[in-house]
Structure 1
């Protein structure tokens, strides 16, 4: 039985740039960082939910290339006010894939953009009850 989402793994080209992006734009903190002979890894979390993490992976050994072993379609983050969040993210240089948030199936709003490694990211404002 699944008890929680553990982490989402994203393959990155530049670990420093990626950590800076997720730290500045999303407010993530680094919990653990290390490497072995084939890859460098960092585990990041958001303070409000430290038990769900983003794992950043950078290939060191190009012979094994970890980055083609799977696909993550997108990583979604819940926000309270999508319009305010869009403005804050634009202050960090984020360019969104559309001019306006789009409706979600549940009646909320969402908008997509790409991270520094072309990973697809999404902000979601849930329908307020």
Structure 2
């Protein structure tokens, strides 16, 4: 069902400072940067491992428990078909934090759920090219 590790999200207080640190000091590249009414975010990758990303998130208007989940906010996993994945995981007892997937910045879909120790986990269906 899960095809790969997707990204790790990190809550940051200053997006420009964080991007400068990850790009200039650690050598990451920016794949995508944008915002929505609630948060500013980016996706950073290493040339040698482009399929695993870091997602810095700066809350503009914090929404619920999302921002309160710690500096390392969530682990994300890629799925090919999010509807099928949701159905599969619901059948084995997973409860999602929302009734429907939400859109991602790049036009895909995502949904959140908790692991056994209340770690925040996310399923992501990327835009099909």
TM-score (norm 1): 0.51
8 A Cα contact 2:39 2:62, kept in partner: no
User: 2-side partners of 1:2 and 1:62: how far apart?
Assistant: 29
Q: Which runs of 5+ in 1 are unaligned?
A: 74-129
User: 1-side partners of 2:65 and 2:39: how far apart?
Assistant: 9
RMSD: 2.1
Larger % of strand: which? Answer: 2
Q: Which runs of 5+ in 2 are unaligned?
A: 74-129
Q: CA deviation at 1:24?
A: 1.5
Which residue is 2:43 aligned to? 43
Using CA pairs under 8 Å that are at least 6 residues apart, name the structure with larger relative contact order, 1 or 2: 2
Q: Which has the larger radius of gyration?
A: 1
TM-score (norm 2): 0.51
Q: CA deviation at 1:27?
A: 0.4
Task: Give 1:74-85 correspondences, 5 Å limit.
Answer: none
Which residue is 2:69 aligned to? 69
